[in-house]
Amino acid sequence: MSAPPDGPRVAGSRLVIGIDLGTTNSLAAVRAGAGATPHVLRDHDGEPLIPSFVCFEPDGRTLVGRAAKALRLDHPERTVFSIKRLIGRSFADAAEDARSLPYPIVGGERGLPRVRIGERDYSPEEISAHVLREVRRTAELALGQPVREVVVTVPAWFDDAQRQATKDAAGLAGLECVRILNEPTAAALAYGIDGERDGTVLVYDLGGGTFDVSVLRIEEGVFRVLSTAGDTHLGGDDFDALLGERILAALPEGARTAAAADPYVRQAVRRAAEGLKIRLTEASSAELELDLGARGTLSVAVTRAQFEAAISPLVQRTLDCVKRAVADAGLALDEIDDIVLVGGSTRIPLVRARLERLCGKPPHTHIDPDQAVALGAAIQADVLAGNDKSLLLLDVIPLSLGIETLGGAVQKLILRNSTIPTSVTEEFSTGVDGQTSVDLRIFQGERELARDCRQLGDFQLRGVPPMPAGLPRIAVTFLVDADGVLRVTAREQRTGVQAGIQVVPSFGLTRDEVRRMMLDSLEHAQADFRAREAIEQRGKAEAMVRGTRRALELAELPPDQTYAVHKAVKALDRLLTDDADADALRAGCEELTKLTSTIADDVISSAVTKALRAEQEGRA
């Protein structure tokens, strides 16, 4: 395996890479030491982006990335995407997003969302792990060395459950997540706002499924997040949905409802809407003819003005978040020194124009917004690897954390926009005489009542000595680590008894579930490897058959060589038809390779000969 063409192989130091686990696309990047330039890690085709798609084929194979995305019309109910919108959430919270997805979402144990494929249900963490494994594989092939430790980015607005679920997904993929990093902070690093000069930066991150805005203060190499705001239900997917509604509206009224309920049509509409959005970024109008197979075709024309009118309320929602974040930071809009863009949807002209009008200055556009987060994560990964000690990142938690008290109120222990890591201890007591255990419910949110906040988990404190009500002194400590993940401990102060806390997550996977999935992964590792090997070998064989047949059309070979090559092509094609195993396909490919080693030269020679012959005939 060779090093990537755009960066050095990382050697002689601890390797930690950065991963942007995105709603639409995912990718990895690396940096090798202070002063080095971070670069994205590309696959064998030179592509940096890995579509966050997973297809569970009916024959049991699992495809990830571009191969999976290509099958979303063939297997609309078995091709999963936008899973980031479900991770770490309850089924009730995810119900609105689930309705717009063509694959089935069902309620699982403890009210968690599950993706139903055939007779099996998958958690969002399991599906995200498939994507992360593909990112890891791409990184290892690009670097020529194993990858174990990673920094994974998440939206700043992700709460504790979503962050923990992301770490679980990394663990299921065989990766050690050394840090969960907020995407806006990573983006500021990527844009070269690296502490060389002090200032205030606003990061506007409009991805496929979420929107974040953060305000950072940079002073002498220290990145301090002053505030963050956002919306986990707003992103480019919502722009696509609006265009999708326009496409469906063009159908005859009687067919509209049936089409909207057809998974095939919904996948086709979603793909067409995404294409329209991309074209309207460059052109003033766009037209599509949507091939619905046996269902016919559909022609739709949309102007940029129509598209901008449709998305204007959504764009305004992002600008309202910008105003709130700047106000929370104690600043005025004209005190922002730099504006950086993250996410593919920031390419939309209306987004850039409205943001520039609001802030009074143009945003930076010199970095691909799809790559900014991964590049910044690579810089932070290099810092954590000990290769660069010039930077320090101080992030904040997005929402207040507290516990439910008598009457259903929420007592906040850690306030939003508190710098992390942080720890707060507060004393509580019992409400009933002789009480030996206390049930605590942990909430995250800004409202005063528990019913209006999001429950993160149930905590039971056992072993409290029986005393009159109000006498026990129970110290509850909330610790938010550098990843923004919450830990809770408790101690009865009067007796010194250390009480145990059993955490039962309301969202995400329990530790037992994570262990079971890890064991399943190890148990099936060899079979999974063989399945992947078969997929890759089959793809190689198919490409060789197509390429050789095309070459035979162009090359003028001796009859005996032509016969031998044709025979080998037919033999390999027969193996493909018979669904042969990887070993047989490999042998067939090797045989064909021996016979075609000089065909490329023959094709070029034939082309030159034909060109010279045509030129001579033209002169005659």
3-class SS string, 237-297: HHHHHHHHHHHHHCCCHHHHHHHHCCHHHHHHHHHHHHHHHHHHHHCCEEEEEEECHHHCE
CATH number at residue 99: 3.30.420.40
Cβ–Cβ under 8 Å, residues 154 and 183: yes
* Domain presence at residue 492: yes
% pLDDT > 90, the chain: 26
Establish whether 20 is a catalytic residue.
yes
The set of residues, in sequence order, having a beta carbon less than 8 Å from that of 61 and lying 6+ positions away, is 531, 534, 535
Quote the DSSP letter at residue 389: -
Q: Are residues 93 and 173 in the same domain?
A: yes
* Domain presence at residue 42: yes
Establish whether 183 is a catalytic residue.
yes
Apex 569 CA angle, 546 and 47, nearest 5: 30
139 band by pLDDT with thresholds 50, 70 and 90: very high
% pLDDT > 70, the chain: 79
Residue 82 belongs to domain spanning: 16-235+311-394
Query: Would you call 215 helix, strand, or coil by DSSP?
Result: strand
Catalytic residue among 20, 237, 395, 483: 20
Q: Are residues 497 and 588 in the same domain?
A: no
The overall average pLDDT reported for the chain is 80
Of 104, 97, 63, 64, the C-alpha closest to 82 is: 97
- At 335 the pLDDT is 93
Which of 114-123, 130-139, 287-296, 331-340 ranks highest by mean pLDDT? 130-139
Q: Are residues 208 and 255 in the same domain?
A: no
Cis peptide before 38 (omega within 30 of 0): no
- At 314 the pLDDT is 94
Amino acid in position 371 = Q
Consecutive H or E run containing 17: strand 16-20
The lowest-confidence range among 86-95, 127-136, 332-341, 589-598 is 589-598
4 band by pLDDT with thresholds 50, 70 and 90: very low
> In the Cβ-directed half-sphere of 551, how many Cα atoms lie within 13 Å?
25
Taking the CA atoms of residue 550, residue 556, residue 560 and residue 562 in that order, the dihedral angle to the nearest 10 degrees is 0
- At 65 the pLDDT is 93
Of 68, 90, 94, the C-alpha closest to 80 is: 68
Q: Which residue has the higher pLDDT, 54 or 555?
A: 54
Establish whether 84 is a catalytic residue.
yes
* Domain presence at residue 7: no
Catalytic residue among 205, 240, 370, 513: 205
Report pLDDT digits (tens) over 311-359.
Answer: 999 999 999 999 999 999 999 999 999 898 888 889 999 999 999 999 9
Last residue of a domain, one of 294, 310, 326: 310
* Domain presence at residue 8: no
290 band by pLDDT with thresholds 50, 70 and 90: low
Catalytic residue among 126, 183, 231, 483: 183
- At 394 the pLDDT is 62
Edge-first strand order for the sheet with 113-117 is 105-107, 113-117, 120-122
Report pLDDT digits (tens) over 540-555.
Answer: 788 778 777 876 775 6
CATH number at residue 586: 1.20.1270.10
Q: Cite the beta strand spans of 111-236 per DSSP E.
A: 113-117, 120-122, 149-154, 176-182, 199-206, 211-219, 222-231
Q: Are residues 387 and 450 in the same domain?
A: no
Q: Are residues 504 and 536 in the same domain?
A: no
* Domain presence at residue 363: yes
- At 349 the pLDDT is 93
The set of residues, in sequence order, having a beta carbon less than 8 Å from that of 420 and lying 6+ positions away, is 394, 395, 396, 397, 480, 481, 482, 484
Q: Are residues 355 and 377 in the same domain?
A: yes
Q: Are residues 21 and 132 in the same domain?
A: yes
Instruction: Centre a 10 Å sphere on the Cβ of residue 135 and count the other Cβ atoms it contains.
Output: 28
* Domain presence at residue 518: no
Distance spanning both ends of the chain, measured CA to CA:
53
Q: Are residues 390 and 306 in the same domain?
A: no
Residue 476: φ, ψ to 5°: -105, 125
Mean pLDDT value across residues 275-295: 79
Mean pLDDT value across residues 411-427: 83
Alpha-carbon distance 576 to 218, whole Å? 58
Report pLDDT digits (tens) over 250-276.
Answer: 776 656 676 666 776 777 777 788 888
* Domain presence at residue 516: no
Last residue of a domain, one of 394, 420, 451: 394
* Reported pTM: 0.65
Establish whether 205 is a catalytic residue.
yes
Q: Are residues 62 and 141 in the same domain?
A: yes
* Domain presence at residue 262: yes
Query: Would you call 443 helix, strand, or coil by DSSP?
Result: strand
Number of structural domains (the chain) is 4
Q: Are residues 230 and 252 in the same domain?
A: no
CATH number at residue 480: 2.60.34.10
Q: Are residues 45 and 179 in the same domain?
A: yes
- At 466 the pLDDT is 83
The set of residues, in sequence order, having a beta carbon less than 8 Å from that of 58 and lying 6+ positions away, is 75, 78, 118
Measuring CA to CA, how many Å separate 23 from each of 101, 240, 443, 473? 13, 13, 26, 45
- At 502 the pLDDT is 47
Last residue of a domain, one of 354, 377, 394: 394
What's the alpha-carbon Rg for the chain, to the nearest Å? Answer: 28
Q: Are residues 500 and 435 in the same domain?
A: yes
CATH number at residue 241: 3.90.640.10
Alpha-carbon distance 145 to 159, whole Å? 34
